[in-house]
A = this chain, B = another copy of it.
Amino acid sequence: MATIHDVATKAGVSVTTVSRVLNNRGYISEKTRKKVFDIMAELNYQPNEIARSLLRKQSNVIGLIIPMVSHPFFSELANYVEYYAYQAGFKVMLCNSQLDPAKERDYIEMLKRNRVDGIIMGSHTLDVEEYRHLHSPIVTIDRQIDDEIPSISSDNYRGGEIATELLVRKGCRKIAHICGNQELHMLSNLRTNAFHETARKQGVQHITIQTDMNVFDQKQYERIIDTLLEEHPDTDGIFATSDIIAAFAVKGCIRVGKRVPQDVRIIGYDDVNAASWLNPEITSIRQPIGEMGRMAVELIRKQLEGKPFKVENVLPVQLVERSTT
């Protein structure tokens, strides 16, 4: 790879001059500028960003830690993060924690060693303390660490409320809620709180089933649904905490001969693209994933630039009614 030195020699100028051309500073004649650019093209010169980063103490890299990209919610989030990061001149480093604390910790250290400009945390398997000592700007998705670290989430409580209310309004008398593992202290636990309170207030029977801590395990979903329908055959409403789980609920119902939505009404969560590929299309609570991604990048930038930012960012959710309710 050619260096700035090679370019300077070949162009018959000094490295300072080349650097000046490259960074547009100081006086440069049109003739020299052209000459330098020509040589750069000829040598296929690409300035070494590693050397620049070292000097500038800025890598322009954002680390994105999520449980796994192949989960639709996170793959869509990653897609938007990449989109807005690119627009802002950042590169994104993809880190799947697989919800393994050791891997998550390892990735955090790796990102620090690589002096990333910021970390977007979509996985949270460690203790609050461990996140607090991070020096780089971070932003968390769906979890609050403390009142210094900005977090982004959608209005989980409201989402749980809307979902439960819809099922009640549609006439469900016994509603099951399948939620994620509550031990992770995610803000999504609020959906479950909302479910309990709303169901109680409305006076309908309700049960809650927690999934294991695995990111996503189809077999587990199938088992949970089967058990649910067997132990509570009179269930007439299911509020699943993701569209994928809702999809398995639909399949489970059909397997045992129940019609959706006539016998069982089902609502998912997230409103990922896949929710509308399914048949029947799944009613869902839409999280503004694009906006969450945009805001995550923006919050990193604001921290880097020392600008003020809001610590708690709760975005509105929206009911998207389709065919399963």
Chain A, 281-307, contact with B by CB distance < 8 Å: what is the 0/1 string? 100000000000000000000000000
The answer to whether A50 and B94 have CB atoms under 8 Å apart is: no
Report 22 cross-chain contacts, Cβ distance below 8 Å, ordered by A residue: A1-B115, A1-B135, A44-B133, A44-B135, A48-B54, A49-B110, A49-B114, A50-B54, A54-B54, A69-B78, A69-B82, A70-B72, A70-B79, A70-B273, A72-B75, A86-B103, A93-B93, A251-B281, A254-B279, A274-B274, A274-B277, A278-B279
Residues of B within 8 A of A109 (CB): 46
CB distance from A228 to the nearest CB of B (A): 17
Q: Which residues on B sit within 8 Å (CB–CB) of A46?
A: 109, 112-113
What sequence of 0s and 1s flags, for each residue 58-85 of chain A, a beta carbon within 8 Å of any chain B beta carbon?
Answer: 0101001000111010011011001100
B75 touching A70, Cβ below 8 Å: yes
Most chain B beta-carbon neighbours within 10 Å: one of A53, A92, A114 = A114
- The answer to whether B91 and A92 touch across the interface, beta carbons within 8 angstroms, is no
Is A18 part of the contact surface with B, judged by Cβ < 8 Å? no
Given the complex of chains A and B, what is the CA–CA distance between A254 and B133 in angstroms? 55
CA of A115 to CA of B49, assembled, Å: 8
Among A120-128, A151-159, A187-195, A242-250, which stretch is in contact with chain B? A242-250
**Most B-side CB within 10 Å, residue of A49, A133, A276:** A49
Cβ of A79 and Cβ of B83 under 8 Å apart? no
Chain B residues with CB below 8 A from A247, complex form: 277-279
User: A91 contacts which of B93, B115, B250, B254 (Cβ < 8 Å)?
Assistant: B93
Contact residues in B for A101 (Cβ distance below 8 Å): none
Supposing A79-B70, A279-B278 touch, asked if A50 and B273 sit within 8 A by C-beta, the answer is no
Copies of this chain, tallied across the complex: 2
Assess the A79–B86 pair: CB atoms within 8 A: no
B82 touches A95 (CB 8 A): yes
Contacts of A133 in B (CB 8 A): 44
Question: Which residues of chain B are within 8 angstroms of A44 by Cβ–Cβ distance?
Answer: 133, 135
Are B82 and A76 within 8 A (Cβ)? no
Nearest CB in chain B: distance from A294 CB, A = 15
Nearest residue, chain B, Cβ from A279:
B251
Residues of B within 8 A of A233 (CB): none
> Which chain B residues border A135 with CB–CB below 8 Å?
1, 44
Q: Report yes or no: B53 in contact with A50, Cβ–Cβ below 8 A.
A: yes
Q: Which of B48, B69, B94, B250 contacts A93 (CB 8 A)?
A: B94
B residues less than 8 Å from A75 (CB atoms): 69-70, 72, 75, 78
Can you name the residue of chain B whose Cβ is closest to the Cβ of A103? B86
| A29 CA / B69 CA spacing, docked (Å) | 45
Q: A47 contacts B251, CB within 8 Å?
A: no
Q: Which chain A residues (93-118) contact chain B, with CB distance < 8 Å?
A: 93-96, 103, 109-110, 112-115
Q: Which residues of B contact A86 (CB under 8 A)?
A: 96, 103
Judged by a CB distance under 8 angstroms, whether A9 is at the interface is no
Task: Give a binary string over A10-53; 1 marks a CB under 8 Å from any B CB, 0 the rest.
Answer: 00000000000000000000000000000000001011111101
